[in-house]
Amino acid sequence: MKSKEELPTLVFATHNANKAAEVERMLEGRYRILTLSDIGCDEEIVEDSDTLEGNARIKARFVKTQYGMDCFADDTGLEVEALGGLPGVRTARYAGEKADSQANMSKLIQALEGVPETDRGARFRTSICLIQGEEELLLEGICEGRIALELEGTAGFGYDPIFHPEREFRTFAQMSQVEKNTVSHRGRAVRKMVNALLARFQ
């Protein structure tokens, strides 16, 4: 059995060690996952694309070019039908560059004021760019749902308290992490990547 240092390594373009550990567990011990902090990357990677795919690609290519390591990066957006797909690529900065989740959710609820539940359709979309050697792969996970009329639940992060995934009466913020991962956009995108990576061992 290989030691962790002997395993093929992938850098996850994030500073979140918990997210990296989660992916490493899903990869069944066949890959070693490092974060940006692990490789000493403290530079701010400017995500200035107008698409989620573009931002994921920017982050992954930055790591590959600057550090020469195989890597993957993700970007996520909330697309609301009644708002023409907004906030989309600006999901994390919807209420301003320094806005927090509360401000973003408040702005979204206000923007949908008067819109009935039947017309509050939305979807979360996660794009992952995986680079191994010379190969670049784009993967996507989508979770359809709708925007709640008000905040419901206290768990999770971001827009979780106002997003009802399809066929669910609860918001993400009212679900356990395991339940959310089963249906979430990010969970679906990561599972596609995991399957692609594990297939290399078959």
Residues 101, 158 contacting (CB under 8 angstroms): yes
Catalytic residue among 75, 100, 119, 160: 75
d(CA 197, CA 59): 19
Place of tokens 């974060």: 35
**Residue 7: what are its φ and ψ, rounded to 5°?**
-75, 155
Q: What is residue 22's predicted lDDT score, i.e. its pLDDT? A: 85
SS3 157: coil
Domain that holds residue 14: 4-201
- Into how many domains does the chain fold? 1
Contacts of 80 (CB under 8 A, 6+ apart): 86, 87, 108, 111, 112, 120, 121, 122, 147
The residues with which 128 forms a beta bridge, in sequence order, are 74, 139
Residues 66, 56 contacting (CB under 8 angstroms): no
d(CA 42, CA 157): 24
CATH value at residue 194:
3.90.950.10
Q: What is residue 99's predicted lDDT score, i.e. its pLDDT? A: 87
d(CA 160, CA 176): 12
Q: What is residue 3's predicted lDDT score, i.e. its pLDDT? A: 64
pLDDT tens for each residue of the chain, 202 residues long: 566 767 889 999 999 888 888 888 888 888 999 999 999 999 889 899 999 999 999 999 999 999 999 999 999 999 999 999 999 999 999 999 888 999 999 999 999 999 998 999 999 999 999 999 999 999 999 999 999 999 999 888 899 999 999 999 999 999 998 888 888 998 899 999 999 988 876 5
Mark whether 75 is an active-site residue: yes
